[in-house]
């Protein structure tokens, strides 16, 4: 990635990169993937899940899977740990994916089989047949895999930068709030068993931190955290979305879109499990003064009407997975000169037919309507790029980079078959924003 110093993915990922490598394969198999989920109680960390995936289908219960990724040595305790987590979370499917073939002894394999886990070896893309077979993938597009690995690398560096700013700006409230906001929408709500409780908590988290991009960026400028802040400072906005330069908005907007993705995912889960009659996951009715009330009535009107609308879409069950792809790999953008090819691309990667892509792209407008009624998508002047509002610049750059091998033979932005005075230069600038966070 990039035109200056080339940014390269490691050929044999380990530690966190191995978890991201494994996660990327599940994305390529059309799973919704949650990564690095930490359960805290009373300030103590009880457990951390490497990877948790959801495979949606048009009918029937989503297929849930817990995945532990080990890039080094591992022992019998890893098997019991995964089995214990499966029981704790009531998840029927689990697997242990390891990168050290020599660590797989006959005794370990026998134990894994006895406790009902899948044991899979993979080291890199050249040595991943077991993983592909497990995921029923005949092949994996290397560009897809790299797109997801870059997305996870961007995410990892953004989160580290947020932590760094918390340490180096200890007097600033905004970055601490941003860090906690991310933990809650990524991890905390995951461990709520009841889906409506998750949704209630997600909206409560939002009520605690509305307009967090405005608050954080204003505090950096003024030194004051103003809970009434509603607008990002004009110069900060222009730097990010007119000059396409990396700044603090890359951090805050990532967390805000991650929160919306959590709401979307749990909204879809609510509808699916309610229709299945699963009262363990959907405890909808509450008694007040002896009368039954739907807990859904205590959520925002926009959520209830939005969910009712998208539930009528034929492929609504795939929307969480679609929007993971759209935000983090496609970059939240559409090249309008190549709209037909773009929709075909979106369809191939997510399984939603081309004829239904427009419906999938309307989800933000339906579930998170803007107060002024404007669409979430905008088109910058003289640039034939349709883009989601307040997208995180490094992920837009990932989307630009991902398309280089799709629409050009050279991998050069100047060879993109697009018009618009600034389209090509904008794509290159977005790429540079991704380069900025990766080159840390």
- Which residues are 95's β-sheet partners? 67, 118
pLDDT at 324: 98
Task: With a cut of 80, say whether residue 60 has pLDDT above it.
Answer: yes
The pLDDT of residue 290 is: 64
- Could you give phi then psi for residue 293, rounded to 5 degrees? -130, 145
pLDDT class for 18, splitting at 50, 70, 90?
very high
So what's the pLDDT on residue 1? 55
Give the tokens for residue 418. 């697009």
Region 20-32 average pLDDT: 98
Give per-residue pLDDT as tens, 167-181: 999 999 999 999 999
> What token pair was written down for 58?
């048009």
Q: Which pLDDT score, from 0 to 100, does residue 289 have?
A: 63
| Measured CA angle at 177 (ends 174, 182), to 5 deg | 125
- Residues of the chain with pLDDT > 90, as a percent, come to 82
3-state helix, strand, coil in the chain (%, to 5): 55, 15, 30
What is the per-residue pLDDT for 287?
A: 57
Q: What is the mean pLDDT of residues 36-51?
A: 86
Q: Label residue 274 by pLDDT band (50, 70, 90).
A: very high
Out of 3.40.190.80, 2.20.25.90, 3.40.1350.10, 3.40.1160.10, select the CATH number for domain 16-140.
3.40.1350.10
- Sheet containing strand 333-335, edge to edge, reads 333-335, 385-388, 377-378
Calpha distance 211→218 (Å, rounded) = 11
In degrees and rounded to multiples of 5, residue 294 shows phi and psi of: -80, 130
Q: How far apart, in whole angstroms, are the C-alpha atoms of residue 205 and residue 369?
A: 18
* pTM metric for this prediction: 0.95
Q: What is the pLDDT of residue 7?
A: 84
Q: d(Cα 384, Cα 407) in Å, to the nearest integer?
A: 15
Q: Is the pLDDT of residue 3 over 70?
A: no
pLDDT score, position 258: 98
- pLDDT per position as a tens digit, 66-116: 999 999 888 888 899 899 999 999 999 999 999 999 999 999 999 998 989
pLDDT of residue 298: 86
Distance CA 392, CA 387 (A): 11
Q: Where are the domains of the chain?
A: 16-140, 145-438
Contact by Cβ (8 Å): 175, 165: yes
The fraction of the chain above a pLDDT of 70, given in percent, is: 98
pLDDT digits (tens, 9 = 90+) for 243-254: 999 999 999 999
* Residue that is written with structure tokens 């009262």 in the block: 279
pLDDT of residue 410: 96
Q: What is the DSSP letter of 229?
A: -
At residue 36, the pLDDT reads 95
Residue that wins the pLDDT comparison between 413 and 41: 413
Average pLDDT for the chain = 93
pLDDT at 292 over 80: no
Q: Which residues pair with 64 in a beta bridge?
A: 54
pLDDT value for 262:
97
pLDDT tens digits along 306-360: 999 999 999 999 999 999 999 999 999 999 999 999 999 999 999 999 999 999 9
Q: What is the pLDDT of residues 114-148, one digit of tens each?
A: 989 999 999 888 889 999 999 999 999 999 999 99
Answer yes or no: is pLDDT of 2 > 50.
no
């Amino acid at each position: 990635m990039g035109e200056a110093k080339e940014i390269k993915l490691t050929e044999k990922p380990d530690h966190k990169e191995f978890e991201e490598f494994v996660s990327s394969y599940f994305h390529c198999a059309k799973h919704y993937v949650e990564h690095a989920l930490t359960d805290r109680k009373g300030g103590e960390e009880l457990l951390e899940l490497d990877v948790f995936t959801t495979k949606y289908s048009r009918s029937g219960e989503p297929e849930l899977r817990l995945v532990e990724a080990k890039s080094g040595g591992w022992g019998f305790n890893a098997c019991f740990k995964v089995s214990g987590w499966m029981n704790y979370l009531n998840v029927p499917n689990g697997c242990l994916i390891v990168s050290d073939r020599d660590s797989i002894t006959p005794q370990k394999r026998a134990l894994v089989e006895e406790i009902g886990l899948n044991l899979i070896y993979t080291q890199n893309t050249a040595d991943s047949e077991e993983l592909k077979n497990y995921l029923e993938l005949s092949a994996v597009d290397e560009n897809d895999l790299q797109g997801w690995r870059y997305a996870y690398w961007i995410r990892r560096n953004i989160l580290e930068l947020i932590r760094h700013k918390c340490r180096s700006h200890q007097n600033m409230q905004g970055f601490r709030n941003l860090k906690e906001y991310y933990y809650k929408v990524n991890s905390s709500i995951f461990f709520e068993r009841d889906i409506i409780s998750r949704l209630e908590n997600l909206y409560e988290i939002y009520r605690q931190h509305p307009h967090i991009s405005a608050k954080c960026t204003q505090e950096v400028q003024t030194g004051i955290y103003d809970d009434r802040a509603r607008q990002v400072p004009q110069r900060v906005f222009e730097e990010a979305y007119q000059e396409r330069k990396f700044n603090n908005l890359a951090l805050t907007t990532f967390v805000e879109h991650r929160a919306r993705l959590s709401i979307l995912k749990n909204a879809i889960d609510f509808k699916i499990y309610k229709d299945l009659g699963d009262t363990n996951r959907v405890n909808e009715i509450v008694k007040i003064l002896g009368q039954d009330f739907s807990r859904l009535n205590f959520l925002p009107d926009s959520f209830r009407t939005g969910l009712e609308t998208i539930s009528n879409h034929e492929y609504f069950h795939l929307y969480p997975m679609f929007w993971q792809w759209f935000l983090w790999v496609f970059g939240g953008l559409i090249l309008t000169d190549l709209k037909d090819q773009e929709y075909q691309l979106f369809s191939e990667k997510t399984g939603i037919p081309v004829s239904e892509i427009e419906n999938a792209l309307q989800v933000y407008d339906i579930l998170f309507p803007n107060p002024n009624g404007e669409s979430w998508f905008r088109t910058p002047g003289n640039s034939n790029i349709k883009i989601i509002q307040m997208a995180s610049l490094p992920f837009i750059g990932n989307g630009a980079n991902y398309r280089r091998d799709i629409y050009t033979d050279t991998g050069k932005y100047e060879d993109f078959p697009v018009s618009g005075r600034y389209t090509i230069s904008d794509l290159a600038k977005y790429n540079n924003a991704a380069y900025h966070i990766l080159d840390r």
